[in-house]
Chains A and B, each alone.
Chain A
Amino acid sequence: MAILANRLTEEQYRENFSDIHPPFETMDAAAVEANRCLFCYDAPCMKSCPTSIDVPKFIKQISTQNIKGSAHTIFSSNIMGAGCSKVCPVEKLCEGACVYNLMDEDPIPIAKLQRYSTEMAMEKKWQLFKRKESTGKKVAIVGAGPAGLSCAHVLSREGIDVTIYEKEKLGGGLMTYGIAAYKVTPQFCKDEVDYILSIGGISIKYGQELGKDVTIESLQKDYDAVYLAIGVGLARQLEIPGENLHGVVDAISFIYDIRDNGFSKVPVGDKVAVIGMGMTAIDAATQAKRLGAKEVTMLYRRTQEEMPCTEVELDIAKLDGCNIIWLAAPKEVMGENGNVKALVAEKMKLGEPDASGRRSPVSTGEIFTLDVDMVIKAAGQTPFTQLVDAMSVKNKSGKIQVDGQSTNLKGVFAGGDCVNGGKEVVDAVQAGKDGAKAIINFLV
């Protein structure tokens, strides 16, 4: 057993990481589905979208071949509408609410239709928004992820000049660095950021990390307002023995490496254990398999009833041949010569519901061992506690506390994962819009 890179041929990588949800190939194909849409009033799909995209309207616009109008409808509510069409868990959002579900009919493929319009807009470089005349106001945004970009776009439209400070070398945040490559390609993420920036009035300074390369005080001094959209970063530790052995990686770094280095450069074990059952856990497990791991086993402390990922995501993992062990908690990573050799876990049972209403896992004392050479931790991410503490930003366990969108610091606003602890891309986009609105109110 060994952890190796370059397990597959270029062709195998291409096949394994090809688009999992292929787009409509033709206008006719999109029109068939667009014409199925009932054009609901006060539509459940729209109400189930965190950014409230007017879904019936944009679909109607596809059916009338007003694709430019359709893209404008989507981007007006969600400037990352193209990326969201690929990564949103639509089965629990818009498509899950589609009234066709109540007729036991397949819902309208809203994401696929959204992708049709938004990708055409990006491909044809339609400039659908015009900046208002410059107001002379300047805003600094920290983080070029979904929340930061969404906030920046709204501000720019209103004639406010925006500078984004981004610690990575690319924009897009978790869209670029934290999502499986078969959902969004690195090229797409780059194109999406470029498309958002094409409105003008937004500049991104890359390689600028808050607290290291730039301070909150200087931003407060140099800008009329500051928006913190720094996300969450660190993978939650398992707090078990053996966590520092070679072969234990966190899912976010693993996914980041796939996006950053390329498929053949990312080492993966023969037998991989993935801890957790959220979207990130699924993305890590499926990609480990697609990189050539022989066996991937996912462990989750609770049951399928409580899992954070959707059924659709679970099915991807199952179809990729990942094993699932429900009611299992990691106890120790065993090593040999500093390398992972096995994972020891305990069987759990469900106890009383916790604060979140989910039933808590309770120890049974029954122990089992999995022979593995790699352990991927996907038990959630933790906020940048030290960073926000150092800035004297009021927070709760690192999650920034806001009143509306304002922090306790004057002229400093915050939103997205750094406030809510980590939600979907689409939630971050909405947070960015809300933040921009609060900033505009503050500035005028």
Chain B
Amino acid sequence: MADISSNFLGIKSPNPFWLASAPPTDKKINVLRAFEAGWGGVVWKTLGSQVKNVSSRYSAVNYGGHKVMGFNNIELISDRPLHINLKEIEECIKLFPDRAMVVSLMADNNRNSWHELIKKVEDTGAHGFELNFGCPHGMTERGMGAAVGQDPEIAKMVVEWVMEKATIPVITKLTPNVHSVVPTGKAVVEAGTNGLSLINTIQSVTGVDLDTLVPNPYVAGKSVFGGYCGPAVKPIALKFLTTIAQDETTKKVPISGIGGVSTWKDAVEFMLLGASNVQVCTAAMKHGFRIVEDMAEGLSNWMDEKGYKTLNDFIGKSVNNIVHWEDLDINYHHIAKINQDKCIHCGLCYIACEDTSHQSINLAYGKPYNTYTVKEEECVGCNLCQLVCPVTDCITMEEHRVAPEYLNWIEFQKKGLPLNDH
């Protein structure tokens, strides 16, 4: 059976699934429940500056009958007294010594505050720090959170302060509320951070109540931009992760992947694109801590199937499969094929292609069932029909190369080949 134990900067955990710094990790009772359920580690909800939270705090985006496809929150960092948090962290470490205990920090913006906080937290026996440079609401107005992460110079300065004092590993958490995470990533790696984590939440408005006309979440007739997370943000997270995993400077440090991880498959995808472990929040908030059971079993079964013995056997294996557009092979071509035995005649492939793509599907009228076939000469191989088809493997994309040899856009132009064949 595969070994799914994880070692992130020397911080060991029985599996690569950590709970992200968030409400589920803000006190002992939750963290103990998480450890009992089997989570490999936690990043304790951010400690630091004194705050007060409001009511309400969360809102969600539902889609097609599914609740919480996306989720946002306007909660600030921990509003519990620091000494209680520290005491509980210490107790949790003692009760579950084999689990990772990383503590998220966001001190006031001066060197002393950071040094004092680091000292106090290290005394608990915590295994590592995560610097919260990402929180996109509330704290930014005080020049903290994402306000730090959005400015590489400030981020670098704070990390330098931290590295002067810290004796345990330091992970810097990056904000996605930037055009590129790479400049801040580079700056903090150069300042000495031991690892990176991403993404934090994305500034958002999940919706507007059509009766009150107040956006969500509702606080006394007003709202505020909240941090967006959950399954909806996974593609954005994977993109930012890849840019960090590919950059020559940032790829030198391990990365903890965050952003919509809900299942073992999501976790594997983050790890294939360069994350050494993953952090989860929304999925646990929706379903409870029990989801980790399938995450661990699913990961282990997949590794066995693929012959991977340890996590390092596959971490980063897909990073180089994302290239520049102009490196793509223009001679590759595939064409949709509809398996008539599996087709249920819903017509979704037809209408998608006919209205919005390349009119490449033929409709033969029938009562009540029409027959749909692909016009091979018209099909550009866009995948749309396959994506909308409700039946697994009913539409397959069959390879029909234009020519056997690799040909990229640059060479294509040099050869003066004709532009559009459709």
Contacts and interface: CB of A to CB of B under 8 A. Distances in A.
Contacts of B350: 41-42
Most B-side CB within 10 Å, residue of A31, A32, A44, A48:
A44
Interface stretch (A95-103, A150-158, A244-252): A95-103
Interface string A19-44: 00000000000011011101111111
B368 interface: yes
The B contact surface, by secondary structure, is loop
A32 B391 CA distance: 20
Q: How large is the interface on A (under 10, 10 to 19, 20 to 34, 35 or more residues)?
A: 20 to 34
Contact of B347 (A35, A42, A97, A100): A42
Nearest to A39: B348
A31 B65 contact: yes
A44 B65 contact: no
B347 A40 contact: yes
Contact of A41 (B351, B369, B390): B351
B367 interface: yes
Given A47-B368, A48-B368, A97-B368, A35 B65 contact: yes
B355 to A, nearest CB: 9
Contacts of A78: none
A35 B64 contact: yes
Contact of A99 (B65, B346, B363): B346
Interface string B31-66: 000000000000000000000000000000000110
Contacts of B368: 44-45, 47-48, 97
Interface string B360-397: 00010001111000000000000000000011000000
A73 interface: no
Interface string A60-83: 000100000000000000000000
Given A35-B64, A103-B391, A41 B346 contact: yes
Contacts of A63: 64-65
Q: Is the interface of A mostly helix, strand, loop or mixed?
A: helix
A366 to B, nearest CB: 42
B391 A41 contact: no
A40 B346 contact: yes
A103 B346 CA distance: 11
Contacts of B344: 99-100, 102-103
Q: Identify which of B347, B351, B370 gathers the most chain A CB atoms within 10 Å of its CB.
A: B347
Contacts of B347: 40-43
Nearest to A46: B368
B393 to A, nearest CB: 13
Contact of A38 (B348, B367, B369, B370): B348
A100 B344 CA distance: 8
A103 B345 CA distance: 11
A40 B367 contact: no
Nearest to A47: B368
Nearest to B63: A35
Contacts of A36: 65
A44 B365 CA distance: 11
Interface of A: 31-32, 34-36, 38-45, 47-48, 63, 97, 99-100, 102-103
Given A41-B347, A99-B346, 16 more contacts: A32-B65, A35-B65, A38-B348, A39-B348, A40-B345, A40-B348, A41-B346, A41-B348, A41-B351, A43-B347, A44-B369, A47-B367, A97-B369, A100-B344, A103-B344, A103-B391
What 8 A-B pairs have minimum CB-CB distances, sorted nearest first?
A: A35-B65, A41-B347, A44-B368, A41-B351, A99-B344, A102-B344, A40-B346, A47-B368
